[in-house]
C-alpha cells in the first residue's frame, strides 16, 4: 500500500486516537459502557489497522509476536492471580474486599479495575495473534485482486 | 436486517458476503441499543462489525473468492430452518411483552442488584459490577475460553516451529 497517501496519513492520525479510546474504555469501564473485552478488541484493531496499511513487518516490529504470545497468558494470570491473592489473604476466591480490607468498597473498585485489565490484555493478545497468524500465511495481494 | 440476511444467502461473491455480514452486525448493534443494552451493542459493533470482518477478509485471502454454485434443491436444510424458526416463534409467545414491568427480570433480579450495588461495590455501571464482581468466576471462565481459542488458532495455523528459520531469514534480509 505504498502509494495510498491518504490512507497512510489518516491511519497515522487515527492509530493514536484508537489507542487512547481503548484505554478510556478500559479504565472508564466502571463509569460508562465498556470494559476489558471491548477495550481489548479496540486496542487490537489499532495494531491491525497499522499492520494493514503499513506492512505486517512494521507492525511486528512495533508489537513483536513473542510479546503477543506472552501477554495472552499474562492476562489470564493477572485475573487468576487476583483470585489467588484473595485466597492467600483469607478471603474467598475473587473476593476483591481482600485488596483493601479496611475499606471493602475500595477493594471492589481496585479488584474490578485489575481484573478488567487482565481481560483486556488477554483479548488484545489473542486478537493480534490471530491476525498475525492469518496475515503471515496470506500472500500479499495487489490492489487489483479485489 | 432481513434484507441484509437474504442478500447474504443470495450472494455468490464471498467478498460481498463478508461485507454484508459486517453490515448485519452493525444493524444488530443498533437493535441492542434500542433494547438499552449499550455494553452488548458496543461489543457487537467492535467484534462483529470490526474485527471479525477483518479476520474473515484475511481468511478470504487464503481461499477462493467465490462460492461454488450448488443447484441441487435443498429441501432438508429448508425444513430444518423453518422448523427452528417456528419453534423460536412459539417460544416468544411465552415471553413477557417488550418493556413490560411485570417481566421476571424486572421484578426480582434487576431491582435486587440495583439496590445492592451502591452499598457493595459503588460502581455506576451496573453491568461492569455484575460482570466483574458478582459473576467474577464466570468472567474468569470467559477469559480462559478466549485464551484457549487463541492458543488453538495459533497451534492450527501459525506453525511456529516450522516458520522460525524463515523468520530469521527475513530478519537478515531486513538488516542487510
Cα three-residue angle B110-B112-B115, rounded to 5 degrees: 105
pLDDT of residue B86: 92
Residue B22 lies in a domain: yes
Chain B within 8 Å of A39 (Cβ-Cβ)? no
What digits encode the pLDDT tens for the residues B94-132?
Answer: 777 776 767 766 677 777 777 777 777 667 777 777 777
C-alpha cell of A121? Answer: 490484555
Low-confidence ranges of chain A (pLDDT < 70): 1-3, 138-146
Q: Select from B45, B140, B160 the residue whose CB has the most chain A CBs within 10 Å, as the one to mutate to test that interface.
A: B140
Residue B52 lies in a domain: yes
Residues 119-138 of A with CB under 8 A from B: 119, 122-123, 125-127, 129-138
ipTM given for this complex? 0.75
Chain B within 8 Å of A97 (Cβ-Cβ)? no
pLDDT of residue B99: 66
Rounded Cα distance, B30 and B36, in Å: 10
Q: A38, B157: Cβ pair inside 8 Å? A: no
Low-confidence ranges of chain B (pLDDT < 50): 161, 164-176
Residues facing B133 on adjacent strands? none
Q: B154, A136: Cβ pair inside 8 Å? A: no
Residue B169 lies in a domain: no
Residue B36 lies in a domain: yes
Domain count of chain B? 1
Q: A105, B51: Cβ pair inside 8 Å? A: no
Amino acid at each position: 500500500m505504498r502509494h495510498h497517501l491518504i490512507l497512510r496519513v489518516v491511519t497515522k492520525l487515527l492509530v493514536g486516537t484508537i489507542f487512547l479510546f481503548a484505554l478510556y474504555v478500559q479504565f472508564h469501564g466502571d463509569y460508562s459502557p465498556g470494559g476489558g473485552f471491548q477495550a481489548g478488541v479496540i486496542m487490537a484493531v489499532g495494531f491491525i489497522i497499522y499492520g494493514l496499511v503499513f506492512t505486517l513487518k512494521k507492525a511486528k516490529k512495533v508489537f513483536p509476536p513473542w510479546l503477543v504470545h506472552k501477554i495472552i497468558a499474562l492476562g489470564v494470570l493477572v485475573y487468576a492471580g487476583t483470585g489467588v491473592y484473595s485466597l492467600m489473604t483469607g478471603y474467598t476466591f475473587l473476593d476483591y474486599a481482600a485488596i483493601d480490607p479496611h475499606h471493602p468498597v475500595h477493594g471492589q473498585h481496585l479488584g474490578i479495575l485489575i481484573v478488567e485489565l487482565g481481560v483486556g490484555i488477554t483479548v488484545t493478545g489473542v486478537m493480534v495473534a490471530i491476525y498475525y497468524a492469518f496475515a503471515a500465511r496470506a500472500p500479499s495481494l495487489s490492489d487489483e485482486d479485489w | 436486517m432481513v434484507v441484509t440476511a437474504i442478500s447474504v444467502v443470495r450472494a455468490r461473491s464471498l467478498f460481498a458476503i463478508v461485507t454484508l455480514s459486517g453490515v448485519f452486525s452493525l444493524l444488530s448493534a443498533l437493535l441492542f441499543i434500542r433494547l438499552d443494552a449499550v455494553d452488548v451493542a458496543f461489543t457487537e459493533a467492535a467484534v462483529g462489525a470490526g474485527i471479525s470482518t477483518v479476520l474473515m477478509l484475511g481468511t478470504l485471502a487464503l481461499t477462493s473468492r467465490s462460492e461454488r454454485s450448488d443447484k441441487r434443491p435443498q429441501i432438508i436444510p429448508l425444513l430444518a430452518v423453518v422448523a427452528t424458526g417456528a419453534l423460536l416463534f412459539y417460544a416468544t409467545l411465552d415471553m413477557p411483552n417488550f418493556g413490560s414491568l411485570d417481566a421476571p427480570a424486572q421484578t426480582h433480579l434487576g431491582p435486587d442488584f440495583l439496590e445492592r450495588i451502591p452499598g457493595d461495590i459503588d460502581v455506576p455501571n451496573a453491568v461492569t459490577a455484575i460482570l466483574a464482581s458478582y459473576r467474577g468466576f464466570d468472567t474468569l471462565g470467559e477469559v480462559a475460553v478466549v485464551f484457549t481459542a487463541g492458543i488453538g488458532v495459533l497451534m492450527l495455523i501459525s506453525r511456529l516451529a516450522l516458520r522460525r528459520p524463515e523468520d530469521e531469514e527475513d530478519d537478515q534480509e531486513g538488516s542487510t
